[in-house]
């Protein structure tokens, strides 16, 4: 306990100063959420590169939570789905049901090049297609994997903060 407190004291604040708010209006459906977006992450078949970057975006340095975005444990608690990877056959039904389970109004973010257009996995035998082939997508984030700054920017686009 003492060591932990000392470490907290010595480390201090590591979060980077907030970059300027990205340009562009908040999507209409996300505007109803009024700056607080609860996110359920779904791995539809990712190589886990995007997951590492998501962890980093919600880590102490980039700290996406200070803009009103938060990861939750169930789609029933969520406003938005954060989908990574191409959609594989095994995850197709699960993704569709997860999308059904999110209460209205809901937003879907396709994160990474695989989620946007299958990336290097395009035409593989176990892949059904990109995320927009299975559920309607509202926001896309480029990159393989996307940098944490890009993820934070996209989420700030939803929260408007």
Partner 1 sequence: MTTVTGAAFCAALGLGLLAAAGALLPRRARPAAAGGGTAAAGAAAVVAGLAAMAGHPWSVWLPDLLPLAGVRLAVDPLSGLFIAVTGAVAVCAAVYAIGYTRPARDGTDDAPGLDGRAVQAMLPLFVVAMLLVPAAASVSTFLLAWELMAVTSLLLVVAEHRRRASVGEAGLWYAVMTHLGLIAIMAGLAGFAAASHGESFERLRAAAEGLSPAVRSAVFVATLAGFASKAGIVPLHVWLPRAHPEAPSHVSALMSAAMVNMGVYGIVRVGLDLLGGGPAWWWLVVLASGGVSALYGVLQAVVATDMKRLLAYSTCENMGLVLIGVGAAGLLSVSGARAIAALALTAALLHVVNHAGFKTLLFLAAGSVLHATGTRDLDALGGLRSPMPATTALFGIGALMASALPPGSAFVSEWLLLQSLVHALPEGGTLAAVTMPVAVAVVALSAGLAIAAFVKAFGVGFLARPRSAAAERARESSPAMIAGMVLAALACVAAALAPGLVAGGLSRAAGVAAAVAGPGGDPVTGPVTLRPAGMPSTMSPLLITVALLVAVVVLMAVLRAVTTRRARRRARLWDCGAGPATARMEYTATSFAEPLVRVFDDVLAPETDLDVTPVKESAYLVDSVRYRTTVGDRIEHRLYRPVLAAVAWVGRAARPLANGSVHRYVGYGFYAFTGMLILLAVTR
- Please identify, using beta-carbon distances, which residue of 46 and 56 lies nearer to partner 1: 46
C-alpha closest to that of 93 among 122, 117, 128: 128
- Please identify, using beta-carbon distances, which residue of 75 and 112 lies nearer to partner 1: 75
Q: How far is residue 132's CA from residue 109's CA, in Å, rounded to a whole number?
A: 10
Check binding of 101 to partner 1 (CB under 8 A): yes
Check binding of 75 to partner 1 (CB under 8 A): yes
- Please identify, using beta-carbon distances, which residue of 23 and 28 lies nearer to partner 1: 28
**Three-class secondary structure assignment of 33-93:** CCCCEEEEEEECCCCCHHHHHHHHHCCCCCCHHHHCEEECCCHHHCCEEEEECCEEHHHHH
Least Å distance, CB 93 to partner 1, is: 7
For partner 1, the binding residues in 102-121 under the rule CB under 8 A are 104
Residue with tokens 């880590």: 59
- Contact pick of 93, 120, 124, 144 for partner 1 (by CB under 8 A): 93
Tell me which H or E stretch contains 138. Answer: none
48-56, 91-99, 125-133, 141-149 -> range binding partner 1 (CB under 8 A): 91-99
Check binding of 94 to partner 1 (CB under 8 A): yes
- Contact pick of 74, 126, 142, 144 for partner 1 (by CB under 8 A): 74
Judged by the rule CB under 8 A, the positions of this chain that interact with partner 1 are: 74-76, 93-95, 97-98, 100-101, 104
């Amino acid at each position: 306990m003492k060591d932990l407190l000392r470490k907290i004291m010595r480390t201090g604040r590591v979060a980077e100063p907030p970059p300027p708010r990205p340009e562009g209006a908040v999507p209409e459906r996300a505007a109803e959420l009024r700056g607080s977006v609860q996110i359920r992450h779904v791995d539809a078949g990712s190589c886990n590169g995007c997951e590492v970057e998501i962890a980093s975006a919600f880590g102490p340095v980039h700290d996406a939570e200070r803009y009103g975005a938060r990861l939750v444990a169930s789609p029933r608690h969520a406003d938005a789905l954060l989908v990574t990877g191409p959609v594989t056959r095994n995850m197709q039904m699960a993704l569709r049901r997860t999308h059904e389970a999110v209460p209205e109004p809901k937003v879907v973010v396709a994160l990474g090049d695989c989620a946007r257009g299958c990336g290097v996995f395009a035409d593989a035998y176990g892949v059904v297609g990109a995320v927009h082939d299975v559920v309607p997508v509202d926001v896309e984030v480029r990159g393989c994997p996307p940098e944490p700054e890009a993820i934070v920017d996209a989420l700030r686009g939803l929260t408007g903060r």
